[in-house]
Protein backbone atom coordinates (compact mmCIF):
# COMPACT_ATOMS: atom_id res chain seq x y z
CA UNK A 1 0.00 0.00 0.00
CA UNK A 2 1.42 3.40 -0.88
CA UNK A 3 1.57 6.37 1.45
CA UNK A 4 -0.88 9.08 0.42
CA UNK A 5 -0.70 12.54 1.96
CA UNK A 6 -2.99 15.48 1.27
CA UNK A 7 -2.10 18.91 2.59
CA UNK A 8 -2.53 22.60 2.07
CA UNK A 9 -0.08 25.49 2.53
CA UNK A 10 2.13 26.06 5.59
CA UNK A 11 2.77 22.44 6.51
CA UNK A 12 5.51 22.34 9.19
CA UNK A 13 7.18 18.99 9.92
CA UNK A 14 10.15 18.93 12.32
CA UNK A 15 12.99 16.42 12.23
CA UNK A 16 12.01 12.76 12.10
CA UNK A 17 8.21 12.74 11.91
CA UNK A 18 6.78 9.28 11.16
CA UNK A 19 3.50 9.37 9.23
CA UNK A 20 1.53 6.16 8.63
CA UNK A 21 -0.28 5.24 5.44
CA UNK A 22 -3.10 7.48 4.18
CA UNK A 23 -2.62 10.35 6.62
CA UNK A 24 -4.49 13.54 5.66
CA UNK A 25 -2.97 16.87 6.73
CA UNK A 26 -4.95 20.11 6.41
CA UNK A 27 -3.47 23.61 6.12
CA UNK A 28 -1.17 25.17 8.72
CA UNK A 29 -0.47 21.86 10.51
CA UNK A 30 2.70 21.67 12.61
CA UNK A 31 4.21 18.41 13.90
CA UNK A 32 7.09 18.38 16.40
CA UNK A 33 10.22 16.19 16.18
CA UNK A 34 10.04 12.42 16.91
CA UNK A 35 6.24 12.21 16.59
CA UNK A 36 4.36 9.25 15.09
CA UNK A 37 0.93 9.60 13.50
CA UNK A 38 -0.80 6.28 12.83
CA UNK A 39 -2.24 5.22 9.48
CA UNK A 40 -5.62 6.48 8.26
CA UNK A 41 -5.51 9.55 10.49
CA UNK A 42 -6.82 13.05 9.81
CA UNK A 43 -5.25 16.23 11.19
CA UNK A 44 -7.46 19.32 10.94
CA UNK A 45 -6.32 22.81 9.93
CA UNK A 46 -4.18 24.79 12.37
CA UNK A 47 -3.38 21.78 14.55
CA UNK A 48 -0.03 21.65 16.39
CA UNK A 49 0.99 18.09 17.29
CA UNK A 50 3.35 17.46 20.24
CA UNK A 51 2.49 13.82 21.07
CA UNK A 52 1.99 10.51 19.25
CA UNK A 53 -1.42 9.41 17.97
CA UNK A 54 -2.57 5.88 17.07
CA UNK A 55 -4.12 4.68 13.81
CA UNK A 56 -7.50 6.07 12.72
CA UNK A 57 -7.15 9.24 14.81
CA UNK A 58 -9.06 12.42 14.09
CA UNK A 59 -6.90 15.17 15.55
CA UNK A 60 -7.35 18.90 16.06
CA UNK A 61 -6.45 21.85 18.24
CA UNK A 62 -3.44 23.55 19.77
CA UNK A 63 -2.13 21.50 21.43
CA UNK A 64 -3.45 18.57 19.43
CA UNK A 65 -6.00 16.23 20.93
CA UNK A 66 -8.60 13.78 19.68
CA UNK A 67 -11.44 15.69 18.01
CA UNK A 68 -13.83 13.58 20.10
CA UNK A 69 -12.16 14.85 23.30
CA UNK A 70 -12.19 18.41 21.96
CA UNK A 71 -15.95 18.19 21.31
CA UNK A 72 -16.56 16.93 24.87
CA UNK A 73 -14.63 19.91 26.24
CA UNK A 74 -16.67 22.34 24.12
CA UNK A 75 -19.94 20.89 25.47
CA UNK A 76 -18.69 21.25 29.05
CA UNK A 77 -17.59 24.84 28.42
CA UNK A 78 -21.00 25.72 26.97
CA UNK A 79 -22.73 24.25 30.05
CA UNK A 80 -20.44 26.23 32.36
CA UNK A 81 -21.10 29.42 30.40
CA UNK A 82 -24.87 28.95 30.61
CA UNK A 83 -24.61 28.64 34.42
CA UNK A 84 -22.84 31.98 34.83
CA UNK A 85 -25.17 33.97 32.57
Terminal-to-terminal C-alpha distance of the chain: 53
Asked, for residue 43, whether it belongs to a domain, the answer is yes
d(CA 65, CA 5): 20
User: Could you report the per-residue pLDDT of 14-30, keeping only the tens digit for each?
Assistant: 888 999 999 999 888 99
Q: Say which CATH number the domain at 23 has.
A: 2.160.10.10
Q: Domain for residue 1, yes or no?
A: no
Listed residue (21, 19, 25) closest to 6, CA to CA: 25
- The answer for residues whose C-beta is within 8 angstroms of residue 83's C-beta and 6 or more apart is none
* pTM metric for this prediction: 0.77
Query: CA–CA separation, 67 vs 83, rounded Å?
Result: 25
For residue range 16-66, list pLDDT tens digits in order: 899 999 999 988 899 999 999 999 999 999 999 999 999 999 999 999 999
For residue 2, tell me if it sits in a domain: no
Number of domains in the chain: 1
Query: Could you tell me the residue range of the domain that residue 44 belongs to?
Result: 12-84
Q: Is residue 41 part of a domain?
A: yes
Amino acid sequence: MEKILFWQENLQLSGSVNLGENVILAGDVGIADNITIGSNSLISAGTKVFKNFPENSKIGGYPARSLYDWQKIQVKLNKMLSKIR
